[in-house]
């Protein structure tokens, strides 16, 4: 919903894939919101553009669904932050969503390949 013009050629995050990325980031341990945002950006080789603000409604949603749990703690540089961790049902969700994601990617890839070969 940001009015900021996306001038750089980094990819805008697909709707719905944010959840998957958050869950995947948390697989490596608990993390706070800012850390998650940074991690997503870094893991994608700075290819993905995440509005940090849009992360929080997503976290809120995941928390409501019970896939992540949260609590206040202290960060590495002694700042108070709210930390998120993956729950058991969150892990299950991650595997099933990952599988589905892979299927979609594979399917899209196939379509694109076919089109390229016909060119």
Partner 1 sequence: MWFQRRRDDDFHNEIQSHLRLETDRLMADGLSAHEAEEAARRAFGNISMARQKFYESQRWMWFEQLLQDLRYGARSLRKAPIFTAAVAVTIALGVGANAAVFTLIDAVLLRSLPVQSPKELVFLEMAGTEGTSGPPAYPCFLRLRTETDAFQGAAAFASDELRVEIDGKPEQIMGQVASGNYFDVLGLKPALGRLLKENDERLNPPVAVVSDRYWRRRFQGDPAVIGKTLSFRGQTFTIVGVTPPSFLGLQPGSPLDITLPIGIERELQRDSTSIWLQGIIARLKPGVAGAKAQAESNAIFRSFMADSRYPADLVAQHFSRLQVLPAAHGVDALRRRFSRPLYALMSVAALVLLLAVANIANLLMARGFRRAGELGIRLATGAGRARIVRQLLTETVLLFSLGALPGLVLAGWGVRLMEGFFQEGRRPISIEAVLDGRVLAFSLTVTLLAALLAGLFPAWRAMRIDPVRAIKEGGESRTGESRGTALFTQALVAFQVGLSLVLLVGAGAFVRTLSNLHHIDPGFRNEDVLTLSIQVPEKFSEPDKYAAIWNRVLEVVRTMPGVRASAVSTFTPLSGRDRGGLVKIHGYEPLSTEDGVIHINQVSEGYFESLGISLLRGRVFTDGDTASAAKVALINESAARKFFGKRNPIGESLEFVRKRDDRSYRIVGVVEDTKHMNLREASARFAFLPIRQARDAEQRVTLVVAPIQSNGEMALLSSIRSGLLKVNRGFLISDVISMRRQLDSTLLTERLLSGLSSAFGVLALILASVGLYGVLSYQVGRQHQAIGIRMALGATPFLVARSVLRQSAWMIAIGLLAGLPFAVWEVRTAATMLWGVKASDLFLYLASAGLLCFVGIVSALLPARRAAGVEPATALRRV
Residues that bind partner 1 (CB under 8 A): 1-4, 32-35, 37-38, 51-54, 56-57, 60-61, 64, 75, 77, 79-82
Q: Which residues contact residue 79 at a Cβ distance below 8 angstroms, ignoring those fewer than 6 apart?
A: none
Whichever of 2 and 117 has its CB closer to partner 1, that residue is 2
Please, what is the minimum distance in Å from the beta carbon of residue 86 to partner 1? Answer: 18
Whichever of 49 and 101 has its CB closer to partner 1, that residue is 49
Please, what is the minimum distance in Å from the beta carbon of residue 89 to partner 1? Answer: 14
Cα distance between residue 112 and residue 110, in whole Å? 5
Return the number of other C-beta atoms located less than 10 Å from residue 6's C-beta. 11
Please, what is the minimum distance in Å from the beta carbon of residue 47 to partner 1? Answer: 16
Whichever of 29 and 57 has its CB closer to partner 1, that residue is 57
> In this structure, are strands 11-12 and 31-32 parallel, antiparallel, or unpaired?
unpaired
- What backbone torsions phi and psi does residue 8 show, to the nearest 5 degrees? -70, 160
């Amino acid at each position: 919903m940001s009015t900021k013009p996306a001038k750089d050629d980094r990819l805008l995050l697909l709707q719905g894939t944010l959840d998957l990325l958050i869950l995947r980031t948390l697989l490596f341990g608990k993390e706070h919101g800012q850390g998650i945002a940074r991690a997503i950006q870094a893991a994608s080789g700075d290819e993905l553009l995440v509005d940090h603000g849009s992360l929080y409604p997503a976290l809120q949603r995941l928390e409501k669904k019970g896939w992540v749990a949260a609590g206040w703690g202290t960060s590495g540089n002694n700042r108070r932050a709210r930390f998120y961790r993956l729950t058991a049902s969150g892990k299950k969700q991650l595997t099933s969503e990952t599988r589905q994601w892979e299927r979609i990617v594979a399917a899209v890839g196939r379509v694109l390949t076919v089109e390229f070969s016909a060119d």
